[in-house]
Amino acid sequence: MRTNESQTSTEESPVTVMVTRRVKLGHETEFEASLSGIVAAASAFSGHLGATMFRPDRPGESQYGVVFKFDRESNLQLWLDSPERKEWLVRIDKHAAEEAKVRVMTGLETWFTLPSKEAMRPLPRYKMAVLTWIAIFPLVTVMLLVLQPPLSILPFPVPIMIMTALLTVLMTYLVMPRLTRLCARWLYPRSPKSPDGTAR
């Protein structure tokens, strides 16, 4: 988890960090234990919003990923500069085959991140637009049916403020992470391979 970050965050917005790293053959168990330790250590820091660890999805692959979130850049920086993180990195380095690839993101970009090298490629805007619409349409429909009657007694624009705030939270922390993983093959199709097995 070294600082190879793309710093695009702003002080007051939530920030997502995506870390990928390859592991030495035969060191998977020790690496996972150390990775679980550093995730647990990060969760004790102020502003930590959650973390997810991803194991290799195919036999023979050795790349692990971690995605974790903080409520703002300043709290993230406290974790990045902490002695606890540095101690865990020393343990992790013993089992890693390469330096970590780290990417820091904020805003809508965090909706479409996957802990893999494919996720580093720019995502076509039309795919982001389509997936966002697929998520927003049913959410807005349900919210209008359920919330509009009780909220209609409130003065304008309070109902809209409440519903858009709820929509933003649901999209950021619940809907888009799951929908992105579900549609990963469409969002990030694997590059076609040549007869010798290398990507074109």
CATH no. for residue 73? Answer: 3.30.70.100
Residues 49 and 136 in one domain: no
Query: Is residue 120 scored above 60 in pLDDT?
Result: no
Q: Residue written as tokens 């969002």? A: 187
Q: Show the domain range for 157.
A: 125-182
| Higher per-residue confidence, 35 vs 4 | 35
Residues 107 and 75 in one domain: yes
* 139 falls within a domain: yes
CA distance 8 to 173: 19
Residues 107 and 129 in one domain: no
CA distance 193 to 152: 56
Which range among 25-29, 110-114, 125-129, 130-134 shows the weakest confidence by mean pLDDT? 110-114
Q: Between the ranges 109-118, 120-129, 130-139, where is the mean pLDDT highest?
A: 130-139
| Position 12 confidence tier, pLDDT thresholds 50, 70, 90 | low
Residues 103 and 25 in one domain: yes
CA distance 78 to 101: 20
Q: How many structural domains comprise the chain?
A: 2
Residues 142 and 114 in one domain: no
Q: Give the pLDDT mean for 20-46.
A: 90
Residues counted in the chain: 200
φ, ψ for residue 29, nearest 5 deg: -65, -45
Query: Is residue 176 scored above 60 in pLDDT?
Result: yes
Residues 43 and 95 in one domain: yes
Residues 172 and 148 in one domain: yes
Query: Is residue 5 scored above 90 in pLDDT?
Result: no
* 175 falls within a domain: yes
Residues 34 and 114 in one domain: yes
Which range among 30-39, 124-133, 181-190 shows the weakest confidence by mean pLDDT? 181-190
Residues 25 and 103 in one domain: yes
Residues 132 and 99 in one domain: no
Residues 159 and 66 in one domain: no
| Higher per-residue confidence, 183 vs 108 | 183
